[in-house]
Amino acid sequence: MGQGPEELRRDIERRRDDLGETIDAIGDRVSPGRILERRRNRISDGWHSITDRVMGTVSTGTDRLGGAAGSVKDHVSGDAVRTQTVGAPLGAGLVAFGVGFLVAAAFPATEPEQAAASRAQDALEPARAAVADAGQQLARDVKDDVAAAAGELKETATDATSDVTATAKEQADGLKADARSATD
């Protein structure tokens, strides 16, 4: 029929333990540090996924290198280069840059090229300063946005903690009332 006082005490203790675990889990879930950690992990996982898709994985790269070890004629042909660089545009760009660098290093700069480089450098100096200023302004704006977001996150976490505390108190009061009515 009814439960004995000892059974009720065990049931209340079990419920308290369950409630304590639930409160700990909720506190962990709304903790600003844990929220940031989960967000960092999502960003990191997304970044690794993107880099794997663009550059391939290590095993894909070693397979490609093994396949690229053919004759020089195969490497020079357009079809072979296109086949080797599918899915790895960054690698293709690095190869093209390296080849261009070697060709440029093989020939000394001519006087007209040196004069053009000097004029370009002089003309680009104001642009460099403008880009640096824009970068600093962007950094200040981002810092302000991050501070505002952190404040909102803190407020949300505080509200959530208050809600959890109120709910836990209500549950505990209900358990106490149940225990009193069961023992009466």
Average pLDDT over the chain, rounded to whole? 76
Quick count: other Cβ atoms within 10 Å of Cβ 138?
Answer: 10
Give the pLDDT confidence score for residue 181 in this predicted structure: 78
Q: Which two tokens stand for residue 155?
A: 């407020």
pLDDT for residue 25 is more than 50: yes
pLDDT for residue 23 is more than 80: yes
Instruction: Quote the CA–CA distance of 37 and 168 in Å, as a whole number.
Output: 26
Range of the domain at 136: 5-183
**Contact between residue 109 and residue 120 where contact means Cβ atoms under 8 Å apart:** no
Helix (H, G, I), strand (E, B) or coil at 184: coil
pTM over 0.75: no
Give the pLDDT confidence score for residue 69 in this predicted structure: 45
Percent of the chain with pLDDT over 70: 78
**Contact between residue 16 and residue 9 where contact means Cβ atoms under 8 Å apart:** no
Q: Please enumerate in sequence order all residues whose Cβ is within 8 A of that of 86, keeping only pairs 6 or more positions apart, or say none.
A: none
Give the pLDDT confidence score for residue 153 in this predicted structure: 84
Question: 112-158 pLDDT, tens per residue?
Answer: 878 888 888 888 888 888 888 888 888 888 888 888 888 888 888 88
Question: 67-102 pLDDT, tens per residue?
Answer: 544 444 454 455 555 555 555 677 777 788 888 877
User: Considering its fold, how many domains does the chain have in total?
Assistant: 1
